[in-house]
Amino acid sequence: MLDWCVGIATTLLIFLIYFGYFFKFNNVKDLRTETRSFYASNKNRKIGKELPPVYPNGWFALLESSQIKKGQVKHVSALGENFAVFRTERGIINILDAYCPHLGANMAENGRVKGDCLECPFHSWKFRGEDGYCENIPYTTKVPHVARVKVWKSCEVNHIIFVWYHSESAEPDWQPQPHTFVSTGAWRFQGRNEYLINCHIQDVTENGPDAMHLNELHSPPIFLSGEFSWLARHLWIIYTRWQPNCSYDNQMNEDEDEVIKTSAKLKGVSIHPIENDKGNRHFTVAQNTDRNREEHKANMHLCHKVMLLERFSIMESDVRAEQIGPGIIELNVNTSFGSLYILLTITPIEPLLQRVIHLIFSPPLLAPYANLLFLGECMMFERDIRIWNSKRFEQHPILVHEDRTIQVYRRWYSQFYSDHSPTYETAIKDLQW
Ligand code: FES
Ligand SMILES: [Fe+2]
């Protein structure tokens, strides 16, 4: 009997050590088939009238650093473009337009990395990664000066390869910044997920400023999802509470009177109230704390509590979310056990198709906790995805006072569109051939 107990305990310990320290999440899912069945045909789904442009201006993730080795080239199709991303033998990332200006071969498909150049697989013209000029044509000594391929500005930060996209070809006026502990290697990569989602990019990014959905969609505890969700609806043993404190706009400072007024209205319309630290019910949205932040950034502060029997807080975390440009969100999570970092990127693959990736990093000793937290994050995020995969974009939504951060956020986000930003119609036309 004792042997059995020791055996089980050892197996459990090995599993815990493996799960905690060696296991890395790689959760790649496509939930689109699941939600497609909501409609008799995908054509029945409405996309929404007067959609905002489909490809905003900014830095977008194309690949993760680990996905491309020295001497490799990868083809990435996104933002209505085809990119040939390659890493030179010196480890430097370059991004060229995938199509060769000679006779149009896709250089990312079977092209060869030669030194700092990319060689086309068709007639072996060799293009420099740095400026796109053709350096060599094997069957002539006269290389025409016009033989040049477009170079896309790129950077590799926090284990992600980003490309700069601008519909007016403007130069970047900001750049993703390295995270102190991630870039020095002090914090370990702990896992990733990847989803393809059928919706407009703003549907995904508005998840944060849409504070009112947090208590509604994300309250049932994660382990009561799926077939046990009925239990969460009827028996609230544990629930998750969010406390938003957005700061998207300098004009959104609110005085005490406004807070009280909002609180009264909140009760009047029976919208789920939010509690502050002391447990007082009031609405603290749009409290601006940082007047000097850069324009391409927006911040949000969430207090996340797991409550037992609606009374005892058994787990608390403080999440500082920062949106950086149109397609990058950083979550700095502070818990009683320590801090973690989640990097979320959103890249439009097609006008209404987004690739969303989360990467999580943590101090090595916090790895088991990071794994658990990441599992929860994936499950919570999948609740959003099921909504996004079947909704339409509402350009003129009917909002109540408590939803006003959405409007403020949309004003902030509009800075990433310009005169020539592709509309849904022009982008779709561009994809046809
Ligand atoms: S098509 Fe690329 S070298 Fe000819
Ligand atoms: Fe959400």
Question: What is the number of the ligand 1 atom nearest to the C-alpha of 104?
Answer: 1
Alpha helices in 190-319 (DSSP H): 201-205, 212-217, 229-234, 256-268
Alpha-carbon Rg for the chain, nearest whole angstrom, is 24
Mutate to test the pocket of ligand 1, among 109, 122, 148 (most ligand atoms within 8 A of CB): 122
Confidence of residue 25 (pLDDT cuts 50, 70, 90): confident
Instruction: Let me know: does 122 contact 147? Beta carbons within 8 Å.
Output: no
Ligand closest to 382 (CA) is 2
Q: 387 C-alpha vs ligand 1 centroid, how far in Å?
A: 45
| 33 and 72 belong to one structural domain | no
Domain boundary among 122, 154, 186: 154
Q: Ligand 1, atom 4: nearest CA belongs to which residue?
A: 123
* Number of domain units in the chain: 2
- Counting ligands in written order, which one lies closest to the CA of residue 219? 2
Taking the centre of ligand 1 as the mean of its atom positions, its distance from the CA of residue 141, in whole angstroms, is: 16
- Which of 97, 99, 103, 118 to probe ligand 1 with, by most ligand atoms within 8 A of CB? 103
Provide φ and ψ at 250, rounded to 5°: -65, -25
118 and 209 within one domain:
no
Pick from 358, 416, 348, 414: nearest CA to 384: 358
Q: Are residues 113 and 206 in the same domain?
A: no
Q: CA 127, CA 151: separation in Å to the nearest integer?
A: 10
Q: Has the ipTM of the complex gone over 0.90?
A: yes
- Which span out of 222-226, 241-245, 392-396 was modeled with the highest average pLDDT? 392-396
Which atom number of ligand 1 is nearest to the Cα of residue 120?
2
Taking phi over 0 as left and psi of -120 to 50 as alpha, with beta for the rest, 309 belongs to left
> Minimum-distance ligand to the CA of 123?
1
Give the CATH number of the domain where residue 404 resides. 3.90.380.10
Asked if the structure places residue 54 within a domain, the reply is: no
Structural domain including 138 reads: 66-154
The total of other beta-carbon atoms located within 10 Å of residue 8's CB is 10
Same domain, 143 and 89: yes
150 and 33, same structural domain?
no
Residue with tokens 């929404």: 48
pLDDT of residue 124: 98
Name, of 27-31, 52-56, 280-284, the range with top average pLDDT: 52-56
Residue 41: per-residue pLDDT? 60
- Kindly report the backbone phi and psi dihedral angles of residue 81, in degrees, each rounded to the nearest multiple of 5, phi listed first: -125, 165
Query: Torsion over CA of 393, 395, 398 and 404, rounded to 10 degrees?
Result: 100
Pocket test for ligand 1, best of 112, 119, 123 (most atoms within 8 A of CB): 123
Task: Report the alpha-carbon distance of residue 353 to residue 246 in Å, rounded.
Answer: 27
User: Pocket residues for ligand 1 (CB within 6 Å)?
Assistant: 100, 102-105, 120, 122-123, 125
- 397 pLDDT above the threshold of 80: yes
Residue nearest (by alpha carbon) to ligand 1 atom 1? 103
Residue whose CA lies nearest to ligand 1 atom number 3: 123
Which residue would you say has higher pLDDT here, 16 or 426? 426
Residue written as tokens 């029976």?
Answer: 270
Query: Is residue 228 pLDDT above 70, yes or no?
Result: no
Bridge partners of 188, per DSSP, are: 362
Residues 71 and 109 in one domain: yes
Q: Which residue is it, tokens 């896309």?
A: 152
Mutate to test the pocket of ligand 1, among 96, 100, 143 (most ligand atoms within 8 A of CB): 100
Closest CA to 387 of 216, 255, 164, 192: 216
281 in a domain, yes or no?
Answer: yes
β-pairing verdict for 160-165 and 58-64: antiparallel
Instruction: Give DSSP secondary structure letters for 251-286.
Output: GG---HHHHHHHHHHHHHTT----B-TTS-B---TT
Are residues 71 and 107 located together in one domain of the fold?
yes
Average pLDDT over residues 40-47: 68
* Cβ-contact 409, 298 below 8 angstroms: yes
CATH number at residue 139: 2.102.10.10
CA of 73 to the centre of ligand 1 (A): 16
User: E-strand spans in 258-388?
Assistant: 297-308, 312-324, 328-335, 338-350, 353-362
Contact in structure between 182 and 304 (CB atoms under 8 Å): no
d(CA 107, CA 96) in angstroms, rounded, equals 9
Q: pLDDT tens digits, residue range 130-181?
A: 999 999 999 999 999 999 999 999 999 999 999 999 999 999 999 999 999 9
pLDDT value, residue 432: 76
* Ligand 2 geometric centre to CA of 375 (Å): 15
